[in-house]
Structure formats: C-alpha cells, structure tokens
Amino acid sequence: MQVEERAGVGGDATHRPPGLPWGAVWGQDDAVDALRSAVAEPESMTHAWLLTGPPGSGRSTLAYAFAAALIAEHEGDEATMRQVIAGTHPDLTALRTEGVIISIKDARALVERSYFAPAAGRHRVIVVEDADRMTERTSNVLLKALEEPPERTVWVLCAPSEADLLPTIRSRVRGLRLHEPSIDDVARLIATRTGVDMAVAEQSARHAQRHIGMAQRLATDPASRARRDDTLRAVLRARGVGDVVDVAGRIVAAATEDAKALTAERDDAERSSLLRTVGVAQGAAIPPAVRSQLSALEDEQKRRATRSLRDGIDRVLTDLQSMFRDVVLLQFGRDDDLINRELRPELQALADAWTPERTLVVLDHLADTRLALEQNVAPTLALESWLVTVTSGRTP
C-alpha cells in the first residue's frame, strides 16, 4: 500500500476529446461533462466524490483527469495539468492499493494530508483508487474528513459500485456512475491500439467482458488466450475427485505464475532503486542500517504479490462465471449474446444435460467462492469445494 504523490496514471484511456486533461478519458462523455461543470461552477462544487464503474471502465483515469482540472488555475494551464497527470504535482495525493485491504495506518496518513493547504494549485486533491478495499474500521477513519473537508480539499474515491462502500461513506459523497463500453467499441479500440486482427480484438473484448486492460492483454498475448481456453475446457471435462484436485491445482499454479510475471520485474526495479538511493553498489553487502528499509520493502512486495495472486484467481473465476452464464442462456433458448462462442458445442451439451436449477446452484457457489477468497480462504481449498459442486452428479 502506498500513500504517495501520484507516480503515473494507468487506465484504459482511448477516446480523446480535445485538450487536457480529459483527452485521456475514453467513452465516458456524460461523466466528463458532469465533472467539467463542477470544476467550472465552484458554488455548486461537492468536496467528496465517488466514481463507480466496473473494472476496466476507466475510474482511475477519470479521477486523475478531474484532479488535474481542479488543481490547474484554468483550462489553458496545461503545464500544471501535465504535472498532475505525471504524478509530480505537490497538491495531488493518491492511495493505491497494493495489498488485499487498505490499512488504518494508510487511511490516517491520507486524512492527515487532506488538511494541508494547497501548495501551488487551486485545490488539494485526495484520490483513493480502490475505496472498496476499506474495512469498516478504516472507513470510519475517513468519515469526518469526508464530511467536513477543508475548503480547498477535494476527495475522489473510486470503487466498482456504491454498494461496495458503507452507507456512512456513501452519504457523504456525490456519486457518479460510469457506463460500460460495448464489445464492438472495445474491439475497435484494441485493434487501433495494438494493430491486432479485428477478429482477435473482438474475441478478446468479449472474453474480457469489456474490461479494456484485460482485453488488451488477451489480444497481445497468445499464451494468455490459450491458458484461458485450457482452463475452461478442463473444468468442462472434470468428472471425479481426481479431476477436482488436478484442475484446482492447475488454476492456482497458473495464477501464481501470472502474479510472478507481473510483479517480478517491478520488485527488482524497486529493490535496485532503493539500493542506489542509499548508495549501495550492485552486489555489495547490505549495511545493517539499510536492512530495515529493505525488509519493509520486501514486506510491501509480499502483500502486493498476495493481492496479485488473488486478483488472478478471481479473474479465472470471472471467466468461469461467464461460461456457466452462457449455459443458462442456452438452457433458456438464447444464443445471441454468448461470451464464449468458441465453446458453443460443449456448452450446448452441458445445457442439455443439466437443469437450469443445477446451473444456478453452480453459479451461486461460484459467487460464494469469490467472496471466500476475499476473506482469505485458502485458494486451492475454495476452488476444490466449488469444483465438487460442478462435478457432483456427473457421469464419468
């Protein structure tokens, strides 16, 4: 977890309205209009906002565009806007979730910074990227700061939905809901960005369920596409206890490898940067005075790796959820909106063999499994429990 001046703005920016800062926001014209109006009319400005939308909808991108507009002196102040978006402006503070939850310590540090007067811009802006990862105790730390912020401080929280936050938090913010782009829109974006064939882009957008970042990864990484297909087919083939253990182990192993691939390069770069900062040459012995800093960094990296693993497994479960959702559609005679069209024959066979009630039981247990993983249940055990539900009653 890091409370920091923003170090780079990720997201799924694509459509580019003219000018900074809104040019980084794609497909959310209504939300952009609402926030631009708020910036232009200070008398109606709300000092605490909640931007909600599904993963990949561009919540964070919009949050930092809003921050840039708030901090800049006027719409033509592009130098300040670029500084905010680059993460180097002193009046922007961001809380990025690198662990499974946002800690009380980090929330308190954020509240403390919210009472600093702006150093150079019109406002001080506090962005919380994953506000849904606050526990009840952590949320309570933010309550008074959200309710009575200093005159020139603006809070911007981001979460998948309003229901992911406590009612006490929701009552103190102004909500703005982002919409999901269409599969065709995401496909065109990915094809333009990456140069991949339109058929690959469409399949990736569909399999990612409109999540732009995930769609781009699938489109540009054949191994990721193959791994997704292998996982879904393995679940469809599972019959007995042996298959349950094998498939659960394979899912966790694949997610672990993905997590390592995503974090290893960053971990090495952070370690090297720390050692350079304190003057330790590469390969040299670590002085005792530096060991505590290195240990703190390693602890942070372990928390990030844990979250990355759980996010990876949740992504697999989201894919499996889409597959059984397709089965339900087929059971009710619908085939015009299948996510996994490539598996149509296998899914139709399952739809014919099962009752809709049985498929819904599997989907309900899958939702329970995702919740269990959020509560730190061992991933392999959670997956095995769900796969038993899938395989029970099947003939070998």
pLDDT tens digits for 243-298? Answer: 999 999 999 988 887 777 667 767 777 778 778 887 888 778 888 877 888 888 77
The answer to the question of residue 285 being in a domain is no
Residues 133, 25, single domain; the answer is yes
* Cβ(81)–Cβ(21) below 8 Å: yes
Q: Which residue has the higher pLDDT, 100 or 111?
A: 111
Residues 252, 232, single domain; the answer is no
Residues 338, 190, single domain; the answer is no
Tens-digit pLDDT profile for residues 211-230: 888 899 999 999 999 999 99
Residues 52, 152, single domain; the answer is yes
The CATH code of the domain that includes 14 is 3.40.50.300
pLDDT at residue 26 above 80? Answer: no
Residues 203, 247, single domain; the answer is no
User: For residue 116, which phi and psi values (nearest 5 degrees)?
Assistant: -75, 140
The answer to the question of residue 137 being in a domain is yes
Say what the pLDDT of residue 7 is: 35
3-state secondary structure of 95: strand
Contacts of 156 (CB under 8 A, 6+ apart): 49, 51, 63, 66, 67, 125, 126, 127, 128
Residues 248, 307, single domain; the answer is yes
Using a cut of 0.75, tell me whether the model's pTM lies above it.
no
- Taking the C-alpha atoms of residue 300 and residue 302, their distance in angstroms, rounded to an integer, is 5
- Taking the C-alpha atoms of residue 31 and residue 62, their distance in angstroms, rounded to an integer, is 8
Residues 124, 219, single domain; the answer is no
The CATH code of the domain that includes 367 is 1.20.272
Residue 330: give the domain boundaries: 241-260+292-391
Looking at the 3D structure of the chain, how many domains does it have?
3
The answer to the question of residue 280 being in a domain is no
Tens-digit pLDDT profile for residues 68-105: 999 998 888 888 998 888 778 999 998 876 656 788 88
Residues 209, 246, single domain; the answer is no
- Taking the C-alpha atoms of residue 40 and residue 36, their distance in angstroms, rounded to an integer, is 6
Which residue, of 177, 200, 216, is where some domain finishes?
177
In the block, which residue shows the tokens 């780079």?
A: 8
Residues 307, 340, single domain; the answer is yes
The answer to the question of residue 108 being in a domain is yes
Residues 36, 131, single domain; the answer is yes
Residues 124, 195, single domain; the answer is no
Residues 253, 125, single domain; the answer is no
